[in-house]
Amino acid sequence: MKPIVRKTPQMETKEKLTLWVTLMVSFTLCISVLAMVFSFLLGLWAKEVDNAEIFKMISPAFSTLIGGMIGFLSGIKLMQNEDTKPKEPK
């Protein structure tokens, strides 16, 4: 009796590229968020730094970075789903 061999489908080039771009953007987002949180914490406990000034400077950048990266990731995933939909005949 022969064992059942299942072939796993190979990823296409576009799928590989989408995966790697998604991983790089996610990694960059994680590093950026960790750096900003670390600077928040340093500014929070540093006696010579005014907390209001630190939060005033970093908050807009934090919001912009998070929003941009999440929008980029969402766009990639939405476009990936758009390509896999079957075309409707006219």
Per-residue pLDDT band for 48 (boundaries 50, 70, 90) equals confident
pLDDT tens column, 7-26: 666 667 877 888 888 888 88
Within the chain, residue ranges assigned H as helices are 13-45, 51-84
CA angle 57/63/66 to nearest 5° reads 130
pTM beyond cutoff 0.75: no
Among 39, 32, 41, 27, residue whose Cα is nearest residue 63: 32
CA distances from 39 to 18, 30, 80 (A): 31, 14, 35
